[in-house]
Structure 1
Amino acid sequence: MDSSLFLNVFMKDSNNASQRLLTIEHSACYVTFVRLQGFYCIFGLFHFRLREHFFKKHNNTVLELDYQILFHLKNYF
């Protein structure tokens, strides 16, 4: 095997490997993004439901509601 042929094959293999790695990294970034969006959506809906619950129960202002929600949430974490 001639050295130029070996070098050419090696370069092709390394390009394929880097393309696969780039695809894997891109997929991992996309999955992470989708998970974060899902978490953000669930957290937003949860916060909305809590706010609605406290508003009906206590009839307070929005700022007071946020403080009450944070106070109750810190007990869970």
Structure 2
Amino acid sequence: MKTDHMKDFHVCICSYKTKRKDKLKEHLCRFEQQCAICFSEMAKLTIVKSDCSHLQCQSCFNNWQLQKQSTCPLC
């Protein structure tokens, strides 16, 4: 179940359109400092942008791919 904080976090991530990873880390807003899936600090992790523009850490993205899921874990 998503909390109000998580809803705000999700909206903030979805509105972020930059594709360049170096700029991405510079412009992370206050709500985007943690992976939306595992809540690890994004600044210390490799950030992955899925085809639907959601952001998550490399570890969560890899786990999602290993499970052969057809939809984004945040969609």
Higher relative contact order (CA 8 A, sep 6+): 2
**Structure with the bigger percentage of helix:** 1
**Structure with the bigger percentage of strand:** 2
Superposition TM-score, scaled by structure 1 size: 0.27
